[in-house]
Structure formats: C-alpha cells, structure tokens
Amino acid sequence: MISLSEVHDVALRFLGSHDQRYTANRRLIVQALAMADAPLTIDGVTETEPMLALSSTYRNLAVLEEAGVVHRIVTSDDHARFELTEDVTGAHHHHLVCTDCGLVLDVTLPDELEDLLHQSLEAAAKENSFAGAHHRIDLIGLCQSCKP
C-alpha cells in the first residue's frame, strides 16, 4: 500500500505536467479519496471534507481527472463516483457494482488472467480500429445490504 505522502507527490507531479497547481482544495479531495476504502460520490467527498464547496469540488475533480490523478466511475446510479487512478495508487483493480444502491467495491484479479485479457482486448481493439487505452471489468450484482 502506497503512503499518503507518496500519493500527494504523484498528484503534484501529474498536476505540474498539466500546468496546474496543487492547491489546498485539491489536496483535500485527493486525501479524501486516498483514505476512502471505496470510490466516493461528490457528496461523499464534500461530507468527508465539509470545507469544500460543491462547485469547487466539481471543478477540481474535473481538473484532477484531466491530469490523470482521479478517475470518474459512472454507474446506472445517478451520482458519479471518483477514485484515484492506478497511476497514482499503483494498484490495478476492478469493481463490484451494486445495482441497487450503487455501491462500488474494489477487487483484484490474478495476474495471468489479466495478461490473457489484455492480449484478447488488444486484438479486439485492433480489429475495430480502436486505439485502446485500458480495460475495465465490473461484476454487477447486489451488495450485502441490498441482498434480498
């Protein structure tokens, strides 16, 4: 597990290479995401750090996303969720998504499987003239509290 100060270092570097400052607000957002054990909604972020204004949080999350520090997760639930990117945390992972409450949990898969997948997807991308950046796997189901 990567330390909080390392996360801040990476964020600073990423923002720097996009001509963006690492302001106090952005720091708070990154910290909130780093401490959370699951991707957070905007409300989740502002509840964790109540000093943050809603509009600034939206703006700064967009800046952080642009700089590759955070990643936006959109589910059928109508609040987007945010997490630090793999480039920041160093951990490739996927998601369990609850269709009922929208909860998102992180999971990792065996490396061999990831390799196989990567090869297949690469081939599929080439076949369809897609410039493939990365893949995303979600297991869609019901979380513990939403189970019947």
Partner DNA sequence: GAAGATTTCGAGACTCATTCTCGCTTGCCC
Partner DNA sequence: GGGCAAGCGAGAATGAGTCTCGAAATCTTC
Q: Which residues form the interface with DNA (CB under 7 A)?
A: 20-21, 23-26, 41-42, 51-56, 58-60, 62-63, 78-80
Contact present, 68 and 96 (Cβ < 8 Å): no
Tell me which residue of 22, 29, 66, 67 sits closest to 51, measured CA to CA. 29
Please give the Cα distance from 81 to 137 (Å, whole number): 16
Identify the residue among 18, 58, 72, 79 touching its own copies (CB under 8 A).
72
Q: 141 touches which of DNA, its own copies, none (CB within 5 to 8 A by kind)?
A: its own copies
Minimum CB–partner distance for residue 57 and DNA (Å): 7
Contact present, 81 and 40 (Cβ < 8 Å): yes
Please give the Cα distance from 34 to 119 (Å, whole number): 31
Identify the residue among 8, 13, 27, 135 touching its own copies (CB under 8 A).
135
Minimum CB–partner distance for residue 52 and its own copies (Å): 22
- Type of residue numbered 19: D
Identify the residue among 4, 24, 53, 140 touching its own copies (CB under 8 A).
140
Q: What angle do CA 99, 104, 110 make, to 5 degrees?
A: 110
Contact present, 142 and 99 (Cβ < 8 Å): yes
Q: 99 touches which of its own copies, DNA, none (CB within 5 to 8 A by kind)?
A: its own copies
| 113 interacts with its own copies by CB under 8 A | yes
Residues near its own copies (CB under 8 A): 72, 74-76, 96, 98-99, 105, 107, 109-110, 113, 116-117, 120-121, 124-125, 127-144, 147
